[in-house]
Amino acid sequence: HACRIVADVCHALYYAHSRRDLDGTPLEIVHRDVSPQNVLIGFVGQVKLVDFGIAKAAGKLAQTRAGMLKGKYAYISPEQVQGKVADPRSDVFSTGLVLYELLTGRRPFERDTGVDTLKAIVQDRPIDPRDYNPEIPHSVVRVLSRAMEKEPDRRYPDAQEMAGDLEDTLNQTQDAGTHSQLADYMNKVFGAELNAQGGTLLIRGLTEVAVAAAAQDFDGFFARDA
């Protein structure tokens, strides 16, 4: 289900990234705030990426002041931390962080303070996600490692290619991965609340999830959990 959700986020990002105006000029839209709060899942299995409020587009009249950080600290890219220009690969990095959190219940770079979080995004390797969830397939770890590269040139060149790798993984599984299966899961998890509240559900917060640890073996990309 996590791969289905993030694959759809990638499709939405690629749609935004590839938009052009009526003259065919690229709009150069970058979301810059890809985070779990901005990913909505409907009860028929649809996934929506919302809140382009701080998105950067080439034609905007008001440009962000140089050096001003945008987005939630735990989900921004190294180049955003360093005040560099954010392109679509910045959104790819943030999407990798969302996938990591969906699979492990942990934010890979979150520290005790905002400053330490920003330093970790630029300097630290993430803990191998299989240390938290040993059931993550090797193919998905490979997607994470490429999406979360510090250097933009080493990441996926666009969100469509990341989506393709996730779709390949989904095509190899039978028990999850389709929108109808995601809809069944949503109704299974929230069905009682929906029935009790007449079809309306207000979610006030989410609980952290952690699972048993496993050994690291992925090319030294990830750090080990102390």
Q: CB count, 10 Å around CB of 147?
A: 26
> Which of 58, 61, 121 is CA-nearest to residue 85?
58
DSSP notation for 3-31: HHHHHHHHHHHHHHHT-B-TTS-B---B-
Q: Which of 8, 21, 23, 33 is catalytic?
A: 33
Is 225 an annotated catalytic residue? no
Residues 34 and 95: beta-carbon distance below 8 Å:
yes
Residues 6+ apart with CB under 8 A from 155: 89, 92, 93, 146, 147, 148, 149
Catalytic (active-site) positions? 33
